[in-house]
Amino acid sequence: MQHSHNQSPPRPTPTTPGTTSEKTHDIETAIANANKDVAVTAEGIGNILRAFMAEDNKRQH
C-alpha cells in the first residue's frame, strides 16, 4: 500500500493554443507579486530593526 498516491493516472495536458503562455504569464505575475511582498516585508523588518537599535542606543547612553 505504499504506492496508493499513484492510483490516479496523470491528466493529459490541454493542447489549447495559448494555454501554456497564459499559465506562464500567471506564474510570472504570481512570482512578481510574491517578490514585491517579500521586498515590502524585508523593508518593514529593516525599519523595525532600526527602531529597536535606536531604542537600544538611547537606553545605553
Residue 2 covered by a domain: no
Whether residue 55 is contained in a domain is answered as yes
Residues 26-37: tens digit of each pLDDT: 989 988 888 888
User: What is the rounded average pLDDT of the residues 35-47?
Assistant: 87
Judge whether 43 lies within some domain. yes
3-state secondary structure the chain: CCCHHHCCCCCCCCCCCCHHHHHHHHHHHHHHHHHHHHHHHHHHHHHHHHHHHHHHHHHHC
What is the reported pLDDT for 50? 93
Residue 39's pLDDT band, with cuts at 50, 70 and 90, is confident
Residue 14 in domain: no
Q: Is 17 part of a structural domain of the chain?
A: no
Whether residue 28 lies inside any domain: the answer is no
Task: Give how many domains the chain has, as a whole number.
Answer: 1
Residue 54 lies in a domain: yes
Domain of residue 55, residue span: 34-61
| Residue 1 belongs to some domain of the structure | no
